[in-house]
A and B are shown apart, each in its own frame.
Chain A
Amino acid sequence: MPIANATSAAQAPASGKQDLAAESNPLQPFVAFESWGRYPKYKARVIPLHWQSDFPSVLAAVTAAGMTGSALPVGLGRSYGDVGLLKDGTLLQTTGMDRLLAFDPATGILTAESGISLAQILDFAVPRGFFLPVSPGTKYVTLGGAIANDIHGKNHEYAGSFGCHVPCFELVRSDGSRRLCSGTENADWYAATIGGMGLTGLIAWAQLRLKPIVSRAMDCDHIQFHGIDEWLTLKQQYAAAEYNVSWIDCVSTGKNFARGIFMAGDHAKNPGELKPSPEPKLVFPFDAPGFALNRLSVAAFNALIFHKQMKSHVKASVDYEPYFYPLDMLLRWNRVYGKNGLVQFQYAIPWAHAKEGTVAILREIAKSGLASFLAVLKAFGDIPSPGMMSFPYPGIMFALDFPIKDATFPLLQRLGDMTLEFGGRLYPAKDAAMTPQQFQTFYPDWQRFAQFKDPMLTSSFWERVTGAERTIL
């Protein structure tokens, strides 16, 4: 069998072969590891984890090689900003830990190593008549990453966040201690790790409660709306649908202000095909030039989307792939923003100020002329998120991508302050710009959370928003 790498050498019993392997596999050089937003750009040493036993032994290999620096577990790098980055540190990439450990078709509970992707889970589950309980906008995230960012989907009002469907997982600390975490066992570690941004330790494996489906198809309704009031009415009207999300135009002003399309959906009730998905083929081939996204092209795109739908109400049955993961069809679509990258601004504002806050922020964005075309509006429901640092809470959620330009950061600062004024919060997994003061107000539990942080793990995000000093290994 091939000798793995420094990793296995560090924990395996002494044998001549493995010692030699350690020597033959020098540690990785520093490379640019990009987050999805491609901003900020930091170099790090990327060490792949292939086995649960690779952690924490791989850290010992790092110190044995006379190198210092903290580490951070990462998955597929789909977080936008710096929550998945560690400047000049060691990134432990978990995607080699992608094994299914058990599946119970009676309960739908899947047990898998944390580096498995949601795409791999779907490939396994869909032909067996099961589906993810919560789907983000891309299936190319890992199970561990989904827990660490306590991600949400279009069914938040119906199902809560991803962590609500994770009955238990095993957390491994850099000191080698292992904890089985659930709502009843090590409940404080469970709450700290869900939404814990990978800072509490490595999730070795986790359980996920899948839900039954009888078809790949989704029944959906697309309805045009003008303004937040119409949107709220539609939401009431379609309260029975499991999924809903809205695309909203952030460029238009005047009578077209806050126009959009409300998209409600449900899994088809009639049994249909449960074949596996085909492989994606299209890759966005190059970095678009910086001027490709401008006020005119975005306005044109938005007008096209709005009027593509000729009727104000369209009913359709579509496959789950384009329904949940329209952008996964085009691998590396983030290149459309050019090599400078993009940042996302994503807030949740509680119902008390949700409407006025959303209108004010939309006006500020329209005025700036910086918006791009991927703007999403949705409501978060009342199901509490299990993590102490989880992002979702009841209210309005809004997300918008911005290309990186000089004017972007002052705008983000203003929008962050407005979010704060309206009692809302921003989403660390999408962020590259919130200030320490903003973060510490958005997440008042952050100091309690810090007690659960693994001393050897940190991220550029954590250092940025808390001013934490790095622990030298």
Chain B
Amino acid sequence: MSTKPARDPLAQPGIASNARITKKILVLGATSGIAEATCRIWAAQGAQLFLVARNQAKLDAVAADLKTRGASYVGTAVADLDDTSKHAELLAHAVNSLTGMDVAYLAHGILGDQAIGERDFEHAAQILHTNFVAPVSLLTWLANFCVQRRAGVLAVISSVAGDRGRKSNYLYGSSKAGLSAFLAGLRNRVDREGVTVLTIKPGPVATAMTAHMNVKKADANVVAKSIVAAIDRNADVLYVPGIWRVIMFVVRAIPERVFKKLNL
């Protein structure tokens, strides 16, 4: 992880991470398990948060929790982020409501069902739309806003599954691969404009999305801590838990003629 000079005056070394700072953070997909855990840390730091999610009741519960934990402001909007035609209006409202924006945190996404997607293109297209097309739409607006301000962090949850397509989840994986590639390109474009792009690649995390998966999962609170720290140090790519950097290095290194025979 590179240690670039911190651009955010609030993230200077010397300011303890638990110091009360009032970062302005826009959270898209705020009722996702990882997003909620992350927001609890920011709320305890007194951050100003604007939360976007699809379900009003769930959004209200999360907002009440974050207010109680000490967020200095919590704004909310109910929106289906699949509807890209509403993005500009939504993002403008959010940024106006926060009176600015230091961090945009994109945490929405769906796992989908690989088996269904293999026989039903509509489902495959749905996964690609929610996990790739919609974030591209959001990030286009957000990146242009940040470039114009010459500041800001765009923190986006991709996945280790995007590092190599596997038969068990290549639809989800390819949507995240597209997202990771988009983020790498965007970073290459906007870094010189003072904007940080953070690609977050979690392994399986214990949340509602993975409740049915029978694999070892990381604790969402531990993952959230790493994400907050990575944003504070303007990191580029975060594998979380860190062991996934090693695992995926190995997975990527397997020659295709061997890889295609494996059951992964």
Contacts and interface: CB of A to CB of B under 8 A. Distances in A.
Interface of A: 1-5, 7-8, 12, 15-17, 20-21, 23-26, 28, 48, 50-53, 96, 99-103, 113, 124
Identify whether the interface residues of A are mostly helix, strand, loop, or mixed: mixed
Interface in B162-176: none
A79 to B, nearest CB: 23
Question: 4 closest Cβ contacts across the A-B interface?
Answer: A24-B113, A2-B209, A99-B65, A1-B29
Contact of A20 (B53, B62, B68, B126): B126
B247 to A, nearest CB: 22
A1 B32 contact: yes
B38 interface: no
Contact of B64 (A7, A50, A101): A101
A51 B58 contact: yes
Contact of A17 (B32, B35, B68, B130): B130
A2 B207 contact: yes
Contacts of B68: 100-103, 124
Contacts of A103: 68
B130 A100 contact: no
Interface of B: 29-33, 35, 53-55, 57-58, 61-62, 64-65, 68-69, 80-82, 107-113, 116, 122-123, 126, 130, 207-209, 211-212
Given A48-B208, A99-B65, 11 more contacts: A1-B35, A2-B33, A3-B111, A8-B208, A16-B122, A17-B130, A23-B116, A51-B58, A99-B61, A100-B69, A101-B61
A164 B49 CA distance: 36
Contacts of B126: 16-17, 20
A2 B111 contact: yes
A24 B111 contact: yes
A53 B58 contact: yes
Nearest to A29: B214
A49 B61 CA distance: 14
Given A2-B32, A16-B126, A53 B112 contact: no
Given A1-B31, A24-B111, A24-B116, A96 B208 contact: yes
Nearest to A50: B208
Given A20-B112, A23-B113, A5 B61 contact: no
A231 B83 CA distance: 71
Nearest to B80: A15
Nearest to B57: A53
Nearest to A26: B212
Contacts of B35: 1
Nearest to A31: B214
Given A100-B64, A103-B68, A25 B211 contact: yes
B4 to A, nearest CB: 30
Contacts of A3: 110-111, 209
Nearest to A3: B110
A23 B111 CA distance: 12
Contacts of A52: 57, 61
User: Of residues B116, B209, B211, which shows the largest number of chain A Cβ atoms within 10 Å of its Cβ?
Assistant: B211
A5 B112 contact: no
A6 B29 CA distance: 19
A393 B18 CA distance: 45
B53 A1 contact: yes
A15 B130 CA distance: 13
A99 B208 contact: no
Contacts, number: 91
A7 B207 CA distance: 13
A23 B207 CA distance: 18
B64 A51 contact: no
A16 B121 CA distance: 13
User: Of residues A2, A5, A25, A99, which shows the largest number of chain B Cβ atoms within 10 Å of its Cβ?
Assistant: A2
User: Of residues A17, A48, A51, A103, which shows the largest number of chain B Cβ atoms within 10 Å of its Cβ?
Assistant: A17
A51 B80 CA distance: 19
Nearest to B214: A29
A7 B211 CA distance: 11
B62 A17 contact: no
A17 B110 contact: yes
13 contacts: A1-B54, A2-B33, A5-B209, A8-B208, A17-B82, A24-B113, A25-B211, A48-B208, A48-B211, A51-B61, A52-B57, A53-B58, A101-B61
Given A2-B32, A51-B58, A25 B64 contact: no
A100 B68 CA distance: 6
B162 to A, nearest CB: 15
Nearest to A124: B69
Contacts of B64: 99-102
A96 B205 CA distance: 13
Nearest to A28: B212
Contacts of B107: 1
A100 B57 CA distance: 14
B32 to A, nearest CB: 5
A116 to B, nearest CB: 10
Contacts of B57: 51-53
Given A26-B212, A53-B57, A1 B109 contact: yes
A20 B115 CA distance: 11
Given A2-B111, A3-B209, A24-B112, A99 B29 contact: no
A1 B62 CA distance: 13
B109 A5 contact: no
A99 B123 contact: no
Given A52-B57, A100-B65, A1 B112 contact: no
Contacts of A1: 29-32, 35, 53-54, 81, 107-110
Contacts of A51: 57-58, 61
Contacts of B116: 20, 23-24
A107 to B, nearest CB: 14
B212 A5 contact: yes
A4 B61 CA distance: 15
B211 to A, nearest CB: 5
Nearest to B109: A2
B51 to A, nearest CB: 11
Nearest to B82: A17
Contacts of A25: 211-212
A48 B80 CA distance: 25
B79 to A, nearest CB: 10
Contacts of B208: 2, 4-5, 7-8, 48, 50, 96
